[in-house]
Structure formats: C-alpha cells, structure tokens
Amino acid sequence: MWLFWLIVIVAVVLYLLKKSDTSPDTSTASSPNLKITISSHSGSDEQETKVGFLPTSDGGFQIGPSLPLPLTLYGLDQNDAAKLVSALEQGQEYEIREWFNHLVAQKNILCKELADWLAYAKPTIKRLVDMKRLASSEWETATDLDKEDLLAEFQNAAVEELALRPGYIETATTLLFEEPHDLTVDDALLARFKDTPDTYRSLLYAISAGSKVQVSPAADYRRKTFEELTDKGFMRRGQEIPLEDILAGMTMKHMQEIAGADAPKKFTRKVQAVEFLKALPDTRQRLEKTISFRELFQLKPIEGIDLEELAKAHAYSSEVSRVILRTLGAGLESQRLKESSKDWEADGWELNSEECCPDCRKLHGKTWKRFPQKLPPFHIGCDASIEMQ
Ligand SMILES: [Zn+2]
C-alpha cells in the first residue's frame, strides 16, 4: 500500500512542478483526481466527507444516508456499521475488504438495494436466456454436454444485454447464476473460526487445492496456517497421510529412484509406479530417506460439510461484499467531488459511464455546465463517474 501512496505523492509533486512552469498560481491544484486522492488520506485542510449511518425501523442500517445511493444492510450490528463507515471515510476501502468479506459470509448480510435489483434482474435474465434457447438452431439436437455449453453462452450474452446491472460482468454473472442453494452452508465452519478469520480464509485456500498432498517446508508462507489447520483437525500431516496419496503426488522420476534396483523395469505409467511402491514392505522407510514427512499436509474431508457448496457460497458472498463496497466507494467519490466542486473553476462536468450497463452507457459523455444534481452510482455496482472538463 505504501508504494501506491509513494507513487501518488511523486505524481502530485511532478504535477505541481509541471504546473508551476505554466502558471504562477501553484496553490490550487485543479485536477479533481489528485486532490481527492490526497484529501482522502491525509484529511488535513479539507473537511472530511461524511458517510454516516442510520438505524432503520426494521432492524437494519442505512449506510451513507446523504450519499447519492445509500445502501440498506441487514444482519450487521451497530459496531460493524460504525467500523464500515469509518473505514470508508478514511479511504480504507481496500484495507477492510477481507474483514467485510468475512462479515458478509459470517452474518449472511443482506443488502436491500441488491435484493431489489435481483428481483428485477432474475426474471428478466430468465426471459432473455429462454429467447436465445428458442432462437437457437443447435439446441434441439444438442447432446447434454453441448446443451450445458450452449446455456453458459446464452447466459453470458444475456448478462451483457441486461439493461441495468453491475458494470463488472463477473459480479453480475455470479450474483445472477451462482447463488448457493444454502447460504448457511458455511455457518457451522464460520462459527468455529469466529475469532480467527485468517484461519478460515486459509481453509478456503486449502479447499481450493483439493485433497492433494501439499509440500510445505518450514520457510513456506503457508506453513503456520497449515499447522494451525492440522491442530484444529482440518488437515493431516506427515505419517497420518495415506501412503498412496503421498505417492500420487510424486513425480515418476522420484518414484523410480525410490524403487531403485527393485523396480522390474522402467515405470511408464504413474499408476503402475504407485502400485509397485505401495506393495513393497518398506516403502515408508524408503520414503523417509528422501522426503521430510513433517513437510507434508493434506486436507481432510469435513464431516457434514459439502465442500463444493462451501466453495460456491464463498464465491457468492465475496461478490456480495465486493459490490456493496464498490457502490459505497463510488457514492463517496461523487459526494467528495460535489463538496469540493465549488473550489474549482470547471468548464463543465461530464459523465463517464462507458464501462457500465447498457442503461448507463446510453448516457455516456453527457455534459453539464453546472455540477449535476443526480450523481452516480445510479444503481448497485454502478461504474459511472462524474469528471471535470
Ligand atoms: Zn449502469
């Protein structure tokens, strides 16, 4: 992160130096982006733009009541809301990403504006996909696997066409099609990791590697985490790992060396090598001469947990937290620009919505002489922004 700020500072210095060549007045930087970047971090001379939050009558919190698009969140408590708001105000959206992601997964946080969009988008996207299926000349005669492939194609095209959606296509796709059947699939696990969110993230990391044996020497950055997961009963280590799994993770060359002169001939297939070594009476002793068992770790199956559903739930809640933070961050940027717009002599203001949904793209390049009243984000996950001309 410090590197980023260093670059920002260098950019500001270069900008001011360049400006001093052309204009005698170096005290008022006229680039909105640079000015915002500085004030959002130091917050020295500028007044800090407030995000704030209000409790709602139905147990939720409205985050950023004065932002262009406040978001209503359910499932979090007052401390969570305060932490979220204060981080946003201090420009620490990046720093709280993991914490917020975990909070969304742990407390199954609901966002009203996201739910409203999904209520509009889901039936609409279904109609779009159905229309593409009916119009397809391949669908009727396609095999099951080809149908799966075609359906993914229709879905992607439908998301692109959807008039109002988060600008970031992957986010829209995950939110529309990847919602887990059971959002609470990870709750039991999350509860166990309530006080050690880092370990939970490591577990997800370990899950994505599957049940393969992983070699983690003492200096490996994952080592501490793997040891913690082993202590908690989620991984097994060294001698506990079935011999067959250790062999399956080795190269054929390595297995050939271990078999040595006992190998009937050169192994040509991995299965053959594994079968041969497994049948030797002293395989473990042979392995111990060439590998350190302490370095080996393997994920255990988790009783009562569907790992595939768990991975899916995690991917979904990551997108939910991402779209909430992006929307609030965009609202805050607009608000900051609004508050400081009076300080600048702008020729006009322009909407940049090139990267957003079809509805927003229609407005791309729209200009105003005075600072506009209606500011982005115009919807959840909106990628439009106002720029100074
Ligand atoms: Zn849009």
- List the one residue out of 289, 321, 348 whose CA is nearest residue 174: 321
| Parent domain of 7 | 2-42
Q: How many domains does the chain have?
A: 3
| 259 and 322, same domain (yes or no) | no
- Tokens 């109002």: give the residue: 164
| 9 and 151, same domain (yes or no) | no
| 197 and 99, same domain (yes or no) | yes
| 12 and 80, same domain (yes or no) | no
| 187 and 254, same domain (yes or no) | no
Identity at 160, one-letter amino acid code: E
d(CA 157, CA 198): 37
- Residue 353 Cα to ligand 1 middle (Å): 7
- Residue 121 Cα to ligand 1 middle (Å): 13
| 56 and 78, same domain (yes or no) | yes
| 71 and 104, same domain (yes or no) | yes
- Residue 292 Cα to ligand 1 middle (Å): 55
| 204 and 68, same domain (yes or no) | yes
Which of 243, 269, 299 corresponds to the end of one domain? 299
* Chain segment 4-60, per-residue pLDDT in tens: 555 555 454 444 444 443 333 333 333 333 333 333 344 444 567 899 999 999 999
Are 371 and 338 within 8 A, CB to CB?
yes
| 191 and 206, same domain (yes or no) | yes
Tokens coding 346 = 């702008």
| 159 and 289, same domain (yes or no) | no
The structure's pTM equals 0.68
| 110 and 247, same domain (yes or no) | no
* Chain segment 106-131, per-residue pLDDT in tens: 888 999 999 999 999 999 999 999 99
* Chain segment 316-359, per-residue pLDDT in tens: 988 999 999 999 999 999 999 999 888 888 889 999 999 999 99
User: Using omega within 30 degrees of 0 as the cis cutoff, is the peptide bond preceding 242 cis?
Assistant: no
- Residue 170 Cα to ligand 1 middle (Å): 14
Tokens coding 73 = 């969140």
Chain-centre distance for alpha carbon 281:
48
